[in-house]
Every structure is written in structure tokens, then in C-alpha cells.
Structure 1
Amino acid sequence: MTLVQLEAFIRAARLGTFSAAAAEMGISQPGVSDLVGRLEAELSTKLFYRANKQLVLTVAGEQLLPFAEQSTVSAEQGERAVKAMMSLGGGTATFGLLRNADFYLSTNLAKQFHALYPNVRIRLIGQNSAETATDVASGYLEAGLVTLPVDDTDLDVVPLVRDEVCFVSADTEHCAKPVSIQDLSEARLVFYDAHYADTDPARRQIIDRARVAGIRISPMIEVEYLTSALALVSEGIGDTIACRAAIASDRFPPSLFHVSFKDPLYDTLALVKRRGQLLSPATREMARLAHDALMAYQRSAKGTAEILPTASATDSFFF
């Protein structure tokens, strides 16, 4: 039983002849007769009988008609829904953002997207990049903007920019010279992203460096948010790390100092999607807006990140 068979049956029932149904469908009269005949053969019953040269529904035909109409209407609605999504008149954009995205985009991504595509639903999830990467790999999210490194085994990754991560302290003497990994291991540290701990991208880099140096990094205090860590550091309780985008923001306490690491440390921002995945039109446009907002802000006088050569190699990501 196919939709075209049901359509031929519905039109014949409504118009009373195969020839009228054929004219409305734009096919031959024998074509309509054949479609209905094959439907009758599949159901093992007659759907019409003739009376005064008109088609009249049999009892079986009367039983089938409302279900046939429901099926064709549902198919039409489904087609319209898909076409609406393809033209961004509908659908859902699912996109993950690194937790500190506000420092890099200088725009409310959800607000901007909604203004452009008011009929598209939005699922914009901001969390640690480690979790965003996992959600994209699993299919829970279609794509995301993350900080590297993450587990990219099942991901397509396009690095966009890199921003320096600095050592931050309330004590100017702690920032008098570039900080080594040995210096960091001896500091009283206040780290953020406590829930993600060693899977957080910046902390992964620090742990790797410490492992190579044969030392261990053990924070004194772990909190969830950068703002919480900066507040504690402002009280002189310990030292922390922060990217230059955060340091340049108006949320960075003016009483704090910062210095580079002896071996510079970077957050690298990248677009990620599931390997080989074709993005839905809605999510593709969300990813494009995130990319364009990031590029525009980092090219402005307020930008702190270095744009990488791969930032323009996005054709394969979006398509």
C-alpha cells in the first residue's frame, strides 16, 4: 500500500470516475485504474462498484476512506514540516557552547538566531567543553563550540582561535616573572570547573605538563565557576588561571594581577560535530553564526585570541 495508491483511491471516491481522478492527478485513466486495482489486490477486496457510470464505494471502501485520508494528510504535513526546516521556517538547532563563550562572542547567540529564524526551536547548552564533546559524539547535540583538548575520537574538529591562559594572583610578587610548571605546583591554587576536574581542557594541559616534569598539581580549593575562583583569589586565599578574554572583560577584578606561563599555555577554541555527520539546516546556521561572531569579535580591538589558519577551512564542516 503506497501513498500514490491511496491518493488515486481518495480522488476516485471523491470525483466518482477514474478519468476525473486521472485528470486531477495529471496521469492517464488506465494509470489510476491500475493503482486502485493493485490496492484492491493487496487488500483482497473490491473498493468500488459501478452504478450509472459512477464509482460507488463498497463497504470495504467506506472503511478504508477515512484512514486513507488521514495517511495522505499526515504525509503532506510531514513534507511541509521537512521543507519548513530545510528553509529554516521550522526545525530545532541543537548546539553546545563552552562555558565562557560570552568572553569570545560579544553577542547573545540565542537572541541573534531567534531574530533571524523566529520559527526555529533552539537548544543552546552551555557547559564544560569535555561534556559538550561527549554530547556531540553521542548525538545528544549536533555540534558545538568547545575548548581543546577534548576526546575527539568520534568528532570532526575545526580549530578556530587560540587564547593565552595566564597565571592570576592578588600578590604582585607572584606575577613578577613568567610562571613555570614547578612554580605552579608550589602555589596555593584555586581552580574552577570542579565538577569536571582533570577532564577540563586547560587542566588537562597543566596535568600533562606536570606529568612530564615529574611533579603533581594539587589545588587547595576547587569551585565550579571562574567568577567564584576570582573572588577567592581577590581575598588573597590563593592563585588561579584565566584566559586573556576573561582578564580583559569587565568581570575581572581590577585588584588582580596576571602573568604568562614560562612555556605559554593556550585555550584553543574549535567547532566540533559528530564525525561524518551532515548537520541539519538549523544547527548549521547556528554553528555559522557562532563562527562568524567569534571571528568578528576577535578581529575587533577587543579581541584577545589569535585566529588560526584553519578558521577559514569550514566548508567541509558546514556541508
Structure 2
Amino acid sequence: MALNFDLTDLYAFQALATFKSFNAAAEAVHISQPALSRRIDKLETSLGVKLFERTTRRVSLTLAGRRFAPRAQQLLKDLESAVAEVGDLHASRTGLVTVACVPSAAYYFMPKVIAQFQSLYPRVRIKLIDSSAGDVYDAVVTGQADFGLSFTGAPQPDVRFIPLVDESYVAVCPHTHPLAAKRSLTWREFYQHPYVWLDKTSGNRNLLDQALAGIVPERPGVCETRHVTTLLGMVEAGLGIAAVPAMAMPKSGHPSLSVLRLTEPVVRRTVGIVKCTGQELSHLAGELEQMIIAANLP
């Protein structure tokens, strides 16, 4: 079978598969919409299959398109990694490393490590996909990310978890809150105060619901949100107290929030690296992974 397409066609396909919009995809690859359409038509003609269903309202992948998408993405990633590894091993190297991570892990693990990595590889771009735990696993499995940073959940086939940090959940409240003078708080005491909570799309919420199944809150949460970082903003605004992973709080102390241990029970989670079993990382992704591991060794 003769392949009558090139890399620009694959990048056009990847953009349209990602954005599901000809306008957004064309902007992403810096071409006009007609040019994008021609590239997609050329790719479909060469492959002999229809990759997208197009209507006046939406664009979606066909079954063939869904099967082709992860392979095309992996092909482009492999090519980018191969190009990045040619030539000088340090400053002249270029490429892209994509890491999917839960927001608290992005805050705790990544800034200093990225700064260290950039000092060694200034021409390498790092893309962070900060999303929920389930999305992190999906990004790794589908090849959207080289590897991920998340916490343990239900075991998944073909996914390897490398533990890095074991931490507990803590309560946070404003410095002016009556609880700020306390050092610890039971979960039953926690629920006696107005609190803000995570919604059911959050991996943290699922973990907490399982661990606290025997404790019935005396009142519903004042507000629910998806991300821990948003939760902290709600606490800073005085809407209530919150339970967050310890790593979500600065080690040096928060300027306006106090931290209390949560007990009875102490709920813990383990944060680590998520990657596909048997899949070898590119050299650059492997370098970043090792820096993260080294930065968090006891």
C-alpha cells in the first residue's frame, strides 16, 4: 500500500482529533481551514478510510479514526523524540515531554524539577496536562502523555505505578477561624463546621468517600468543586473549611490558611509515577522521570 501523505497531514489529523473543530485545529497548526480540510482529505484518500464524521454542528472520529488516533500520536511522538535525540546530548537538544498530573502533584512535584530540567535542556518543551486522577490514567494509556503523576486507585491493566510520596489529608481554615488554634480535628468535628467539598468527578473525593463510609456528615457541603486548588480559594474567601492532601499546602506555611491534622480515621494516599507497562520512555522523558524520582527520595 503506497502512503501518499506526509507529517503535515498527520499533524493536521492530530489537531482535528484533539479539538473536534476545523477552526480551532487550523489555528493550532497555523494554516487556513481550507488547507486543513485538504490535508484531512488527502490522508483519508491515502488510507482508504473515512477518519471523521462531519456535520454542520460537530466533528467526531469514526471507528477507524479512533483506532488510528493513538497510533498517529505515538508515531509523531516517536519521531519528535528521535529528532530530539540526534545531535548534541545537552543544550542543543529539542523536543517535547508531556506529563499528565493531578493538580496537587503538579504544584508539589513539578516547578523545581522543571526548572532543573530546563537548565540542562533549555530547548526542550514540557507540557503539563493537569487534570483528575482518572484523566491522568487515561492520558497515559492512550499515549497523550509520556507518563503521569497521580495517586493509587483501582488497579488497571498495563499500567505500572511507582510510589513516591505517602501523605495524609489535612484540614485547612483561615487564620481567623476558631479552629485555627487547634492542632488536630476528627472527621466528625470537621463535619460540624461549614465546609467546602470536592465533587464526585474528583479522584480525591472517591478516595475520601471510601475511607469515610462510616461517617455521616451532619450537613452538606457549602460548595463543591473539582480541583483542590479551587477548593483552597473557597477557604481563603471564608466559605468554610476544607480537607485537602497535605502536599497541596506550602511547606513553609500558607500566608492566610492554617493546617490541622485530620484523625479518626487518618486518611492517606500514595502519590507516584504512572506509566504503561513495557513501554520504554524516550530519553528526554526518562530524564525528567528520574529527576522527579531523585527529588523525592527520602
TM-score (norm 2): 0.59
Q: Secondary structure at the match of 1:161?
A: strand
Offset at residue 235 of structure 1 (A): 4.9
Offset at residue 120 of structure 1 (A): 3.2
Q: 2:194 aligns with which of 188, 192, 196?
A: 188
Q: Deviations over 1:7-32 (max 9, x none)?
A: xxxxxxxxxxxxxxxxxxxxxxxxxx
Q: Which amino acid aligns with 1:131?
A: D
Mapped partners of 1:271, 1:241: distance in 2 = 23
Offset at residue 271 of structure 1 (A): 0.7
Offset at residue 283 of structure 1 (A): 1.0
Q: Secondary structure at the match of 2:287?
A: helix
Q: Map of 1:1-319 to 2, 5 A cutoff?
A: 81=83, 84=86, 87=89, 89-101=93-105, 103-105=107-109, 107-149=111-153, 152-169=156-173, 170-172=177-179, 175=182, 178-180=185-187, 182-192=188-198, 197-211=199-213, 213=214, 215=216, 218-249=220-251, 252-295=254-297, 299=298
- Inter-CA distance 155–227: structure 2 relative to 1 (3 Å threshold): closer
Q: Which amino acid aligns with 2:130?
A: G
Q: Deviations over 1:107-164 (max 9, x none)?
A: 4333322221234343233333332121001111120121233663331111111122
Mapped partners of 1:161, 1:152: distance in 2 = 20
- Inter-CA distance 257–78: structure 2 relative to 1 (3 Å threshold): closer
- Inter-CA distance 174–206: structure 2 relative to 1 (3 Å threshold): farther
**Is the 1:175–1:257 Cα contact (8 Å) retained in structure 2?**
no
Q: Deviations over 1:153-196 (max 9, x none)?
A: 3311111111221122333289575413x44555432125xxxx
Task: Quote the sequence identity (%).
Answer: 20
Q: Secondary structure at the match of 1:101?
A: helix
**Is the 1:161–1:269 Cα contact (8 Å) retained in structure 2?**
yes
**Is the 2:171–2:243 Cα contact (8 Å) retained in structure 1?**
yes
**Is the 2:118–2:124 Cα contact (8 Å) retained in structure 1?**
yes
Compare the two structures and name the one with the higher helix fraction: 1
TM-score (norm 1): 0.55
- Inter-CA distance 233–242: structure 2 relative to 1 (3 Å threshold): same
Q: Secondary structure at the match of 1:160?
A: strand
* Equivalent residue, structure 2, for 1:59: none
Offset at residue 220 of structure 1 (A): 2.3
Q: Which amino acid aligns with 1:140?
A: Q
Q: Which amino acid aligns with 1:241?
A: A
Q: Deviations over 1:15-58 (max 9, x none)?
A: xxxxxxxxxxxxxxxxxxxxxxxxxxxxxxxxxxxxxxxxxxxx
Mapped partners of 2:220, 2:157: distance in 1 = 28
Q: Which amino acid aligns with 2:197?
A: F
Q: Secondary structure at the match of 1:238?
A: coil
**Is the 1:137–1:274 Cα contact (8 Å) retained in structure 2?**
yes
Q: Secondary structure at the match of 1:256?
A: strand
108-117 or 226-235: bigger deviation: 226-235
Mapped partners of 1:85, 1:262: distance in 2 = 57
- Inter-CA distance 85–263: structure 2 relative to 1 (3 Å threshold): farther
Q: Secondary structure at the match of 1:110?
A: helix
Larger Rg: 1
- Inter-CA distance 153–178: structure 2 relative to 1 (3 Å threshold): farther
Offset at residue 251 of structure 1 (A): 6.6
Mapped partners of 2:89, 2:186: distance in 1 = 52
CA-based RMSD of the aligned residues comes to: 3.5
Unaligned runs of 5+ in 2: 1-78
Q: Secondary structure at the match of 1:153?
A: coil
**Is the 1:168–1:175 Cα contact (8 Å) retained in structure 2?**
no
133-142 or 213-222: bigger deviation: 213-222
- Inter-CA distance 153–191: structure 2 relative to 1 (3 Å threshold): farther
**Is the 1:84–1:90 Cα contact (8 Å) retained in structure 2?**
no
**Is the 1:166–1:241 Cα contact (8 Å) retained in structure 2?**
yes
Q: Secondary structure at the match of 2:275?
A: strand
**Is the 2:132–2:201 Cα contact (8 Å) retained in structure 1?**
no
Equivalent pairs counted in the alignment come to: 214
Mapped partners of 1:152, 1:184: distance in 2 = 33
